Structure 1
Amino acid sequence: MTVFDTFAMVDWASGNDTGPTPRQDAIWACVVRKASVHESKYLRNRTIAESWLHDLIAEELSAGRRLCLGYDFPFGYPKGFARALTGSDDPLKLWDWFEERIDDEPGANNRFDLAGEINRQFGGKGPFWFNGLKREIPGLAKNKRDYHNPFPERRAVETAPDAKGSFTCWQMGGAGAVGGQIMTGISVLARLRRHFENQVAIWPFERLDKPVAFVEIWPSLNLGAAPEGRIKDAWQVEQVACNLAKMSDEDLCWQLDVSAAEEGWILGVSQDKPNIAPPPLRNDCFALPAGVNWTPVDEALALLQERLRPITASEHVPLMQACGRVLAEDVFAKRSNPPQPNTAVDGYGFAGAVPEGPRILPLVDGRAAAGIPFDGEVPEGRALRVLTGAALPEGVDTVILEEDVTVQDNHVAFHGPLKRGANTRRAGEDVVEGDMALPAGRKVTSADLALLSAVGIADVPVRKPLRVAVLSTGDELVEPGECAGLGQIFDANRPMLLSLIERMGFVPVDMGRVGDDRELLSARLDEAAQKADVILTSGGASAGDEDHVSALLRQSGALQEWRIALKPGRPLALGMWSGAPVFGLPGNPVAAMVCTLIFARPALGLMSGEGWSEPQGFDVPAAFEKRKKPGRREYLRARIRDGRAEVFHSEGSGRISGLSWAEGLVEIEDGQRHVRPGDLVRFIPYGSFGL
């Protein structure tokens, strides 16, 4: 769950601009940033308010602060309304629907006309009521005479005991009308959400894993009268923002933990869930409680790619020490390759093309060889003996292979045709001096050393190696070779992970293992953050009593818990500890390896400076049959035999032997799939991950 740096509260209004003098029943807002309370802001109309909100969000994003923005109007309508208008239960599609149709100016808007238009779609007697204008509006009566509502009168939250005094969203005019506030309010929020794409999460419709959260809060449900001399709306937004800022992370997360996928919810209204019944038996350990969603693999990868940055410093090393290092800068050629025109073969050089037919040329005394250039110029109509790699002397631009000539009496004879420039290399035809030889982010290979050397590079700018600490957690773990007691197991993860890190080209830092002791684990994480750039832990990444890694990250205020729609390996804890990114991997070795390959490998590459890399997969025929349910991506331990993908005989995540049996993974997409022998499946060899 998110933790916020800044809280803001907005009291909305759908009426017209009445001037610059602060007044009741207008738009008011207040910001509390890191316990510092700003004076309540009077926003005289919705155009000004939208601009102010835009600037506030942009400022917080630019400063890297997480923002919780509260609004005092419903974010959704009673069940069924969204589908009736948009064909979908998604309330955010309804936001866009209204945004397309609301015309809003400081002095007027079309909310009453739009309400009448909607009513006419359902017979003209509801669901909206109370025409607040002097003119008649077809479909929207001035009172509830003959009123009929085809939808529920209230949302579930508005029937809760804590929500006494709330108003129905269908009322368009009169005291307590929120109908117009919703229409104009969600239209503004829809535009802000679209402008700050992938930066804003809408509660409770979306996971709060973005830097900005929009939350529905009704100050009047919890606050009484304003102090004498204070405008009520101005005082209320200040009090709400202050109360949110004072709330503990635990209490805030608890209040935000509600399920209201279509109608929305009011923050602060408790959501009782009595009469708990067991779910249907699905024999599926990946089943989550109702209302809890998985994070798809592609979405988790995209979030990692979006949020992580290179974190290693740069240095210069001699060429011979650069292999395997990541280039910190683009490298430009100091010399062309080849530096001069030269011959590509052993033969005889001369000037110009040769037409079809025989040709006889007299030879010039001497020869040109690699490193021993010819001292002089070859006259037109004469030839010179040249050897492979020799610089072409003046008067030579074409070479005939020695296998195609006859040499006699100091003459050379051969047949045309032969093009000008045949069997020669132009200066710089490979790399020209000043051109980029290799780009920043490339991991230097042995072949790259040849290129860098050829273009005159002796000192190479590289990033310092990424140091990755590996720590195992759990009372049940003992070192291989020690005596394992009842209920204990040997630590299989640490040797595997340390080796993976080294094979991937990073520097492994062994932090040993820690039992289920929060203080010892905290101290070991402190030590790891000093010794390494990134920390990988295994075990303790979920939300159980002994899952101390996620608990400590949560206490530090820097935890993202993702339940990945992935098999094997569900929980993945991501956070920061003393400035070091932490990947909390599952404790099961099979799941730990799969999560390392799929998530940690590209993330570590990005942080090391080599950029984000997608593993190369190959479509091959299956040598197995597999039925898969929809909803999660599966990775099967696999190998290639006779051009077909075989999978390990058991999918059990406790079968560690399948990791060493396999030569890669078969990836089966998120949807439902029935794989039959011969069907194409995607095989990703271990080598694609740098192993």
Structure 2
Amino acid sequence: MARLFDAYIIADWTAAEGKKLGDQSIWIGVAKRDVRFRLYSETHNAATRAEGEKLLASLLADHRKRGDRVLVGFDFNLGFPTGTAERLKLTGTPWAAMWKFLAANVVDKADNSNNRYQVAAKINRLMTDNAWPMWGAPASQAQRWLTTTKPPAGSGADIPEFRATEIAARRGKLHPKAVWQMHGAGAVGGLTLVGIPMVRRLVEALGTAAAVWPFGTGWRELTAEDVEPLSTLVVEVWPALFEATPAPGEFREQVQVRTAAEAFAKMDDKGTLAHAFAPAKGTDEATITQVESEEGWTLGA
């Protein structure tokens, strides 16, 4: 069976303010094959999101010149729980409307300073005119529409806390956080707010050579014919899905991106990666529509 991809890039992003290398910073893992088709990997560290974005664009441009097809995974949500775009009164396909909204509102400067808490507060104001569904901020960032702690039980009860992919993961051993949580250990809300505009810029720069799964491809098993016209397929990943054994001196995020990139490459070698793009057998049409149009899914979950 032919492999779908020639290289696999996994990015562990950060919403942090200030420049930082090493632990709890941006790490990008790349798995690819040498001239003898032997798999090898490398990792890159970036001190700011601007540097990380530039590095990703450079890696993708290099692979595109070689005619490679690349799978690119990001460790934050690419979609929001069903109904979010409608509550924000956005028009068009929900996922694309959310991406456009975030691109228009998030300001992320070269020194890593950003306005993610102000954007979270604006989302709350527009959705509920209360301090939910988004929550969690340092005391210095708290305000009427964004609190430091989780809102009282029942607040915004009509708004789903989790996407279908998180609900599925929580039935297993994983405990993903809701995208609504902005602050605290494991919070993914801030990552998502600063991450989506960056992915949108990368995808727009590549034009028709890039697609985002499952929004642009459908939630289904992908074939070589589906992938062949592309240079880049963007997916959402949880690097923690893969058991990682650090080499001496490796940072936690570094070993996670390396391990995840290698894992997807090995799945592709075995011919099992194509099926990972499809829903579980018996998934109902309503869920498929929800995932394809607004929520997205985590590859390998």
TM-score between the two structures when normalised by the length of structure 2? 0.83
Aligned partner of 1:214: which letter?
Answer: V
Partner of residue 554, structure 1: none
User: CA RMSD for the aligned pairs?
Assistant: 2.0
Deviation at 1:243, TM superposition (A): 1.1
Contact 1:76–1:91 (Cα < 8 Å) also in 2 = yes
In structure 2, relative to structure 1, the CA distance for the partners of 1:2 and 1:204 (3 Å cut) is farther
1:585-630 alpha-carbon deviations (Å, 9 max, x no partner): xxxxxxxxxxxxxxxxxxxxxxxxxxxxxxxxxxxxxxxxxxxxxx
Distance 2:195 2:173 in 1: 21
Give the whole-Å Cα distance in 2 for the aligned partners of 1:135 and 1:96: 24
- What is the alpha-carbon distance in structure 2 between the residues aligned to residue 217 and residue 135 of structure 1? 29
Partner of 1:155: 163
Contact 2:91 2:97 in 1 (8 A): no
Q: Does 1:33 align with 2:32?
A: yes
**CA shift for structure 1 position 2:** 7.6
Look up the equivalent residue of 1:104 and give its one-letter code: D
2:81 aligned with 1:81: no
Query: Which of the two has greater strand per residue?
Result: 1
Which residue pairs with 1:165 in the alignment?
175
1:174 counterpart residue number: 184
- Where does structure 1 differ by over 6 angstroms across 4 or more consecutive aligned residues? none
Secondary structure of the 1:57 match is helix
1:654-678 CA-to-partner distances (Å, cap 9, x unmatched) read: xxxxxxxxxxxxxxxxxxxxxxxxx
The change in CA–CA distance for 1:162 and 1:42 in structure 2 (over 3 A counts) is same
Helix, strand or coil at the partner of 2:28: strand
Question: Identity of counterpart residues, as a percentage?
Answer: 30
1:163/1:196 CA distance change after superposition, 3 Å: farther
For the structure 1 residues 93 and 232, does the alpha-carbon distance in structure 2 shift closer, same or farther, using more than 3 Å as the test? same
Deviation at 1:211, TM superposition (A): 2.2
| Greater displacement, 170-179 / 31-40 | 31-40
Q: Is 1:206–2:216 an aligned residue pair?
A: yes
Other-structure match for 1:638: none
Kindly state the Cα deviation for residue 61 of structure 1 after the two structures are TM-superposed. Answer: 1.1
Q: How does 1:242-253 map to 2 (within 5 A)?
A: 242-247=262-267, 248=269, 250-253=271-274
Secondary structure at the aligned position of 2:42 is classed as: coil
Instruction: Identify if the C-alpha distance between structure 1 residues 136 and 168 changes in structure 2 by more than 3 Å, giving closer, same or farther.
Output: closer
User: In the comparison of the two structures, how many residue pairs are matched?
Assistant: 267
Q: In 2, Cα distance between the equivalents of 1:113 and 1:163?
A: 33
Query: Is the counterpart of residue 197 in structure 1 residue 217 in structure 2?
Result: no
Conserved? CA contact 1:113–1:137, under 8 Å: no
1:153 Cα deviation after fit: 0.4
List gaps (5 residues or longer) in structure 2. 218-225, 280-287
Rg larger in structure: 1
Which residue type is aligned with residue 211 of structure 2? A
- Pick aligned residue for 1:110 from 115, 120, 123: 115
Distance change (3 Å), C-alpha of 1:173 and 1:109: same
Structure-2 residue corresponding to 1:264: 296
Which amino acid is the alignment partner of residue 237 of structure 2?
I
Q: Do the aligned partners of 1:132 and 1:174 also contact (CA within 8 Å) in 2?
A: no
Deviates more, 1:133-142 or 1:122-131: 133-142
Q: Which secondary structure does the structure 1 equivalent of 2:179 belong to? A: coil
C-alpha displacement at 1:186, in angstroms? 0.6
Distance 2:112 2:53 in 1: 15
1:71 equivalent in alignment to 2:79: no
Matches of 2:13 and 2:103 in 1, distance apart?
16
Distance 1:224 1:156 in 2: 26
Distance 1:96 1:225 in 2: 38
Q: Does 2:242 match 1:222?
A: yes
| Alignment partners' CA distance in 2, 1:139 and 1:225 | 42
Residues of 2 paired with 1:50 and 1:167: CA distance?
Answer: 25
Q: So what's the TM-score if we normalise by structure 1?
A: 0.37
1:47: Cα distance to partner? 0.3
Within the alignment, does 1:138 sit opposite 2:170 as a pair?
no
Relative distance call for 1:10 and 1:135 in structure 2 (3 A) is closer
Q: Secondary structure at the match of 2:101?
A: helix
